[in-house]
């Protein structure tokens, strides 16, 4: 054991030196032309960057023929989803916006109260507009291509509902677990809105909608398995440990595409005769969950290892049963610290869902390849436009989430003992 004396006060964050505001000329001398080497670097980089910006800008604004995206924006978003049922997608978006806004608002209220009572670190200042930047940019681009008044109005409605629910949530104040339950209920309800009552089953889902569904469904289903595997890996029973380690290392040692091949080709053979093979979407989801669980397990294991041994010992001294120690003492502390890691895993999964295109699902990437084969656009080299569009959609989501996760990490790090 370390002999260092633990202080009870939170360690104050290292103070940043105040930003110096330099006049432009001094700023440039300090940051661009400090030495002759710096000057050479600046000139070379300026030329290269300017040339790149010129080429990219000219392509995006002048040369690119974005008509293929404009005409296929619905295809890219939902692919084969029946068009007369599209209202269900909008309804689901409204439900999602309401639950996410409410949950976020309730959480923010709780956080504010904690800060007022002197627990928890004050939030970092960042304007909401700046934080939501990538998402707003994504929505703007999508609406620009959609060129539809109806879609614009509905999007505004979704946004307003989200903001309204946020403000409502601010008055309620829920603990993190309750807020998460509200969001989960919203996701389940949104799913039901699309599927239930003569709705559209997931074999007809496609496009960006399928991408998001696979990512969200994948991480939600992987979470319980991952927690169980992590607990198993830390178990004192050798048999349990060996089985869990074998599973984790097996799935972390093979690429996702091999796991997807396995679930696409093999699941049919593993079912007893008479049972129908599940649809390809389900098989892909199973593959993603098998794969992601192993990674979630390793992240959760890191959190479990971070719980001080004294916590378990204290709980044992109080006479709690092993089950209660795990569920009441260890897991709550461990899971709190693994949230940034889980967000990181979710970002990977979100990007990795593009791999289901290889086994034949029509998610965003495969739609963006397929539409270049339409008679109107065939053999015109429009793949550059469609792939750039798909890359932008992925980028906006992943960049936004990674920035938010960094914020979260800083805040959790600050609030830690």
Contact 285, 205 (CB under 8 A): no
Q: What are the residue ranges of helices labelled H in 318-382? A: 322-324, 331-352, 364-370
* Site residues for another protein per CB under 8 A: 31-32, 34, 38, 41-42, 45-46, 48-49, 237-240, 243, 250, 252-258, 261-262, 265-266, 268-273, 347, 351-352, 354-355, 357-358, 365, 369, 381, 383-384, 387-388, 390-391, 394-395, 398-399, 402
Least distance to another protein from the beta carbon of 123, Å? 23
Nearer to another protein, 20 or 83 (CB): 20
Least distance to another protein from the beta carbon of 244, Å? 10
**From CA 401, how far away is CA 225, in angstroms rounded?**
23
Least distance to another protein from the beta carbon of 269, Å? 5
Nearer to another protein, 90 or 399 (CB): 399
Cα dist from 155 to 94, 139, 194, 369, whole Å: 9, 8, 18, 27
β-sheet bridge partners, residue 207 = 363
Least distance to another protein from the beta carbon of 83, Å? 27
**If you write DSSP's letter for every residue of 144-162 in order, what string do you get?**
HHH--HHHHHHHHHHHHHH
Nearer to another protein, 147 or 374 (CB): 374
Least distance to another protein from the beta carbon of 392, Å? 9
Least distance to another protein from the beta carbon of 390, Å? 6
- The structure tokens listed for 40 are 């050479």
- The structure tokens listed for 383 are 């793949």
Nearer to another protein, 175 or 277 (CB): 277
CB count, 10 Å around CB of 244? 21
Give the number of C-alpha atoms closer than 13 A to the C-alpha of residue 279, restricted to the C-beta side: 7
Tell me, what DSSP letter sits at residue 65?
-
Encode burial over 261-297: b for 16+ CB neighbours within 10 A, e otherwise: ebbbeeeeeeeeeeeeebebbebbbbbbbbbbbbbbb
Nearer to another protein, 153 or 270 (CB): 270
Nearer to another protein, 311 or 369 (CB): 369
Least distance to another protein from the beta carbon of 196, Å? 32
Q: How big is the CA angle at 377 (ends 371 and 379), to the nearest 5 degrees?
A: 100
Least distance to another protein from the beta carbon of 91, Å? 29
Nearest residue to 105 via CA among 178, 176, 160, 166: 166
End-to-end Cα spacing for the chain:
18
Specify the residue for token string 């939501």. 132
Least distance to another protein from the beta carbon of 349, Å? 11
Nearest residue to 181 via CA among 286, 94, 107, 89: 107
Nearer to another protein, 277 or 328 (CB): 277
Least distance to another protein from the beta carbon of 17, Å? 13
Nearer to another protein, 22 or 185 (CB): 22
Nearer to another protein, 373 or 417 (CB): 373
**From CA 122, how far away is CA 127, in angstroms rounded?**
15
Nearer to another protein, 270 or 318 (CB): 270
């Amino acid at each position: 054991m370390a002999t260092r004396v633990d202080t009870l006060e939170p360690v104050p964050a290292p103070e940043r030196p105040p930003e110096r505001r330099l006049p432009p000329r001094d700023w440039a001398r300090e940051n661009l032309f400090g030495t002759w080497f710096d000057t050479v670097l600046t000139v070379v980089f300026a030329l290269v960057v300017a040339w790149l910006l010129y080429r990219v800008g000219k392509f995006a604004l002048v040369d690119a023929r974005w008509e293929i995206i404009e005409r296929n924006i619905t295809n890219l978003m939902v692919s084969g989803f029946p068009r007369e049922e599209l209202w269900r997608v909008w309804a689901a978006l409204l439900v999602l916006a309401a639950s996410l806004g409410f949950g976020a608002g309730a959480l923010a209220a709780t956080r504010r109260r904690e800060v007022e009572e002197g627990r928890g670190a004050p939030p970092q200042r960042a304007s909401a507009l700046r934080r939501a930047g990538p998402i707003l940019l994504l929505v703007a681009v999508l609406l620009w291509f959609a060129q539809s008044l109806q879609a614009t109005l509905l999007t505004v409605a979704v946004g307003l509902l989200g903001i309204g629910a946020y403000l409502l949530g601010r008055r309620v104040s829920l603990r993190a677990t309750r807020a998460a339950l509200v969001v989960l209920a919203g996701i389940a309800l949104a799913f039901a809105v699309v599927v239930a009552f003569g709705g559209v089953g997931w074999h007809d889902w496609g496009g960006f909608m399928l991408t998001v569904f696979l990512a969200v469904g994948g991480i939600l289903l992987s979470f319980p398995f991952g927690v169980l595997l992590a607990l198993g890996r830390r178990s004192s029973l050798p048999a349990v440990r060996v089985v869990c380690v074998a599973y984790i290392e097996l799935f972390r040692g093979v690429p996702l595409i091999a796991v997807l091949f396995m679930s696409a080709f093999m699941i049919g053979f593993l079912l007893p005769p008479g049972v129908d093979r599940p649809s390809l979407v389900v098989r892909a989801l199973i593959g993603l969950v098998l794969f992601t669980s192993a990674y979630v397990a390793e992240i959760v294991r890191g959190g479990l290892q971070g719980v001080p041994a004294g916590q378990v010992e204290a709980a044992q001294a109080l006479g709690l049963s092993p089950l209660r120690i795990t569920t009441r003492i260890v897991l709550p502390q461990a899971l709190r610290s693994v949230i940034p890691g889980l967000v990181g895993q979710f970002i990977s999964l979100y990007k990795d869902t593009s791999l289901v295109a290889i086994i034949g699902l029509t998610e965003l990437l495969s739609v963006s390849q397929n539409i270049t084969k339409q008679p109107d656009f065939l053999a015109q080299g429009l793949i550059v436009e469609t792939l750039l569009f798909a890359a932008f959609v992925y980028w906006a989501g992943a960049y936004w989430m990674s920035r938010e996760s960094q914020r979260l990490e800083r805040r959790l790090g600050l609030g830690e003992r």
